[in-house]
Chains A and B, each alone.
Chain A
Amino acid sequence: MMLPYLWLIPALPFAGFLVLSVLGRRMGNGPAAAVGVGSVGLSALVAILVASSFINAPPPAHVYTQTLWRWISVGGFAPGVMLYLDSLSLIMVLVVTVVGFLIHLYSAEFMAADDGYSRFFAYMNLFVGSMLVLVLAGNLLFLYLGWEGVGLCSYLLIGFWYREPENGAAAIKAFVVTRVGDTALAIGLFLIFINLGTLDIQRMMNLAALHWRPGGALPTIAAALLLGGAIGKSAQLPLQTWLPDAMAGPTPVSALIHAATMVTAGVYLIARTNVLFTMAPAVQIAVAVIGAATLLVSGMSALVQHDIKRVLAYSTISQIGYMFVALGVGAWSAAIFHFMTHAFFKALLFLGAGAVIAGLGGEHDIFRMGGLRRQMPLAFWCFLAGACSLSALPLVTAGFYSKGLILSSAWEAGRAGFWLWAAAIAGALLTSIYTFRLVFIVFFGEAKAKISKKPGPRAAIPLVILAFLSVAGGFVNFPAFFGIKGSMFFSRFLASALPSATYAAPLPETDLLLEAVAAIVSLAGIYVAYFFFLSSPEYSREMAGTAIGKVLKRFWFEDWGFDWLYEKTLAAPYRWLARTNRNDAVDLFYSFIAKVNMFFHYGLSLSQTGKVRFYAAVIALGAVVTITIAVFAR
């Protein structure tokens, strides 16, 4: 029975962080990597053991809670440091630890040349620890601790190469924008606690169901605030500007934080507090709409990017958009399934891109790469597997199954269902286009640059494992209409934690039809990419040359002008106000008073002329004044 060792899972990475941050400087790269990678590895091992004992001998009601210590207790407010394990958090833990371990292994070699080696692993361990806390938290305050912890680590890691000020600026931008979302989440916490009296997630949901009227003001506001937090962390529409800039960090960081784990924290939050969202239908629809809008917007932006990592960043935003659509329509397990598959293939793509960048000595612009197919075959094939999975190549890739599930549940989602499905399909088309645009430009065509370094063994193993997972990963949730026994294993496994989909499952034949449409769309996308970017690139150049093309290209490149908007409306005025008020307008008032006093001093001291007759005159004047007051003012 490994369940009691649940606390080890988050504790190990934190221990790694402590060791590395305190002794980091004195350890060489070898031992630092050993500690860094080892701690996450051990944690993954424990996670797997825990998972196995959870599956073989499930604890009562498929839930295991472990309270470590009484964190705060003031009157009715008593959030404890409590770990809560159910099938949902188990999957999250597994993904985080396994993918985390692979990325740590990869970065052991990738960051070898960097001088801040131990510092890097310290931050990465801290991140994994915080993510595990977030995922395992039993009450919202402990979740909030993990939530802010991951935000902090994303700041530290984005700004890891601190020598260039742009990295610093990107890191601060990331932390501040996510902090806006966190503040909304915090206010949500206040509201929940004040009105329900507890922050424990399960009890909070029961009480809400009991006392709150579905659709009423309180649940709507609470859900909206939680959504605000989710949008901030998962870089959805209004607050997505920070993710593309976050690519300034090292590539393993982008892989782990900005693709696999942290950005999906919002998805986990909404999934975890699903009761609240079902009680606020307006907000749930909003989630779907935001998801749809985001996937379209970032899909188009990804089409025109030059930097390999920015393309993948926009693709991440778009894929999370899919998850939000799933959550919006109530297909909770579909969202988590897509999260898992996305974690695999997006991590793979990032690590592949990392290998390419390392090979070309830090080159990010895809138009200066080309023909790497022959120079880095291993990286190429793994990258290709990831790309196919991303663009949901039918039947053979995990992406197809997870995205298909979302598309079908979107179709069934009542009135708005059709529009959501239409947006999702358009998104799928865009996805396959920009993915294979990337593949053709980077790996096909004539070689523009020589490869200086091939990914070593410690980098290759993760690539291969991830490639296998992103291909085979989908079979765990085989669609039902094929009638194979044991299909939809993943969703059934999650049923214990998440309520079944709100809308009825589609009839087998419509399901089949939808899958077919999705397959056709993804293949079409690949052909379009092949036509425009490999066989006759002059067409794409000509299209880009047209007037609307040029405008659209620049508009999409600038992420639909969100950055410009925030800079002009928020950042610039704040900076201006701070600069003008540097020496404190209120202070001028007090220095004015001081001047008045001095003015009176000089005035009065002139009256001390030193002449005795003047003094006599003042005495006489004083006498006159006193007499008039005494006599006339009685």
Chain B
Amino acid sequence: MIYAFYIAAAVAIVSTAMVIVQMNIVHALLYLILSLLSVAVIFFVVGAPFVAALEVIIYAGAIMILFVFVIMMLNLGTQSYRTEKGWMRVWTWVGPVLLASVLLADVVYMLVSPARLPGGGRLPPAFVRPYAMMVGPRAVGVTLFGPYLIGVELASILLLSGLIGALHLGRAVRPESFIGPVSAKKPGSSKKTDRGEGTVKK
């Protein structure tokens, strides 16, 4: 079972990496779905089957579909490939990767550090010793509607605000604009923002 974890983790990392490297947005989206599925596997391995299912149904199922709709609506498909290519110089990668690697090193050092405390003491053993067990949907359900009842209500309010926001913003966009932007300009050529240059005022 231990190997399942490592395999799933590896797949997740590789697929996520592929997501951000992809030029074609549809391929990126598919890699993302793959990554979500691999995370679901990890959930299952770690002992949270209910959540793994949720991940597959809601995250991979619902949210990604939203992305697909948007891509369909904006008809990005192929021609966005060239614009992406245009934007992605090699040097654009250097900055973010450098910064992210520092970030990575920071936290990893923190997590992996052989638990030496400043006073030379050791980290509490519990942290290192593996201790996991499976928490089934029943337990989740009981606590969800036990102490976290108010949490559920709040989550519903959260979704309500998301709904209203999306409704307001969505309605304003006129249908005919789906095919292309109002100024019917090649979307990629927007480097020179001709729409009233921002008057930089000091």
Are B106 and A627 in contact (CB-based, < 8 A)?
yes
Are A624 and B103 neighbours in the complex by a CB distance under 8 Å? yes
Let me know if B202 and A624 touch, CB within 8 A: no
Contact A617 B99 (CB under 8 A): yes
Residue of A610, A617, A624, A634 touching B106 (CB-CB under 8 A): A624
**Least Cβ–Cβ distance between B105 and chain A, in angstroms:** 9
Q: Which residues of chain B come closer than 8 Å to A627, judged between CB atoms?
A: 103, 106-107, 110
Residues in chain A near residue B110, CB distance under 8 A: 627, 631
Q: Does A605 contact B (CB under 8 A)?
A: yes
How near does chain A come to B55, taking the closest CB pair, in angstroms? 26
Q: A624-B103, A624-B106, A628-B106 are in contact. Are A617 and B95 (CB under 8 A)?
A: yes
Q: Indicate if the CB atoms of B198 and A624 lie closer than 8 Å.
A: no
In chain B, positions 91-120 with a C-beta closer than 8 Å to chain A are: 95-96, 99-100, 102-103, 106-107, 109-110, 118
Contacts known (A610-B198, A634-B118); A621 close to B99, Cβ less than 8 A: yes
- Which residues does chain B contribute within 8 Å of A620, judged by CB atoms? 99-100, 103
Q: Are B99 and A624 in contact (CB under 8 A)?
A: yes
- The size class of the interface chain B forms with chain A is 10 to 19
Q: Does A623 contact B (CB under 8 A)?
A: yes
Question: Using an 8 Å CB-CB cutoff, how does the interface string of A600-634 with B read, 1 for contact, 0 for none?
Answer: 00000100001000000100110110011001001
The reply to whether B96 and A617 form a contact with Cβ atoms under 8 Å apart is yes
Closest chain A residue to B118, Cβ basis: A634
Question: In the complex, A617 Cα to B103 Cα: how many Å?
Answer: 12
In Å, the complex CA distance between A99 and B99 comes to 100
Among the listed A610, A624, A631, A634, which residue makes an inter-chain contact with B102, where contact means beta carbons less than 8 Å apart?
Answer: A624
Q: Name the A residues within 8 Å of B102 (CB-CB).
A: 624
Interchain nearest-CB distance for B88 vs A (Å)? 13
Tell me the minimal C-beta distance from A611 to chain B in angstroms.
Answer: 12
The answer to whether B202 touches A605, judged by C-beta atoms less than 8 angstroms apart, is: yes
Question: What's the Cα separation between A617 and B99 when bound, in Å?
Answer: 8
Chain B residues within an 8 Å CB radius of A605: 202
B118 CB to nearest chain A CB (Å): 6
Task: Give the contacts of A371-388 with B (CB-CB under 8 A).
Answer: none
Q: What is the chain B residue whose CB lies nearest that of A617? A: B99
The CA of A623 and the CA of B102, in the complex, are separated in Å by 11
Residues of chain A from 304 to 352 with CB closer than 8 A to chain B in the complex: none
The CA of A634 and the CA of B102, in the complex, are separated in Å by: 19
In whole angstroms, what is the CA distance A605 to B103 when docked? 26
Enumerate chain A residues within 8 angstroms of B103, measured Cβ to Cβ.
620, 623-624, 627
A631 CA to B109 CA, complexed, in Å: 10
Jot down 22 A-B pairs with beta carbons below 8 A, ordered by A. Answer: A605-B202, A610-B198, A617-B95, A617-B96, A617-B99, A620-B99, A620-B100, A620-B103, A621-B99, A623-B103, A624-B99, A624-B102, A624-B103, A624-B106, A627-B103, A627-B106, A627-B107, A627-B110, A631-B106, A631-B109, A631-B110, A634-B118
User: Besides A617-B99, A620-B100, A620-B103, 9 other CB < 8 A contacts?
Assistant: A610-B198, A617-B95, A620-B99, A627-B103, A627-B107, A627-B110, A628-B106, A631-B106, A634-B118
